[in-house]
Amino acid sequence: MMLVVSCPIKVSLAKLGMIYFALERLDSSLRSFNQALGIRMKLNDQEHIEVAKLLNNIGLVRFHQGERRAALKYLSDTLQIQRRWIEDSLCRECSLFDTSITLSNMAKIYLKRCDYAMAAYLYEEALQLQTTTLKKDHDAVLDTLGNIAFSKAMAGEKTNALQVGNSIVYSFN
């Protein structure tokens, strides 16, 4: 009987966490996401995709709180779950896109740390996943290409940055 009651509560807590996040009430957002995660974990399926989404959200809140190390930990845990879902998923395209978002979120943290090579690497991995399911002129692909170019430019790889930048322009042809 507890499963029936806890699922709507878990969903409500997760949605409340998103609202608090949008309102920049990060402590309340974090509390809501953690409560939703606690309920989900009691269902004894720690590899569920919902766990990954909650961990990703917690990681983003931690990032916005300035806690980069904690954010990377949550995003790394998210990535581990997502990689398993890519292999077994019936909705592989959704899993690929979600995983590319997690990789991009991790790359943003490395940009803040001025580790531009790692940021570029993570963005490139995200791009590989995106281009398996999305067209080359999709907004997500173009954003990721722009982030790769920026990361490479910041890393001093000017020629590579310009090549990637030019590929954005030519993706419309």
CATH of the domain at 75: 1.25.40.10
Number of domains in the chain: 1
Per-position b or e across 130-143, b if 16+ CB within 10 A of its CB:
bbebbeeeeebbbb
E strands, 31-132, in order: none
| pLDDT score of 5 | 38
| pLDDT score of 172 | 58
The reply to whether 25 falls in a domain is: yes
The reply to whether 21 falls in a domain is: yes
Q: Residue 148 in contact with residue 164, Cβ under 8 Å?
A: yes
SS3 106: helix
Domain that holds residue 71: 9-88
> Cα(171)–Cα(145) distance, rounded to whole angstroms?
10
The reply to whether 173 falls in a domain is: no
The reply to whether 70 falls in a domain is: yes
The reply to whether 154 falls in a domain is: no
The reply to whether 172 falls in a domain is: no
| pLDDT score of 4 | 36
- pLDDT tens, position by position, for the chain (173 residues)? 233 334 667 778 889 999 999 999 999 999 999 999 998 888 766 667 788 999 999 999 999 999 999 999 999 999 998 888 777 655 667 788 889 999 999 999 999 999 999 999 999 999 999 998 888 888 899 999 999 999 999 999 988 888 888 888 776 55
The reply to whether 151 falls in a domain is: no
The reply to whether 52 falls in a domain is: yes
Per-position b or e across 2-39, b if 16+ CB within 10 A of its CB:
eeeebeeebeebbebbeebbeeeebebbbbbbbbbbeb
Compute φ and ψ for 84, nearest 5 degrees.
-70, -35
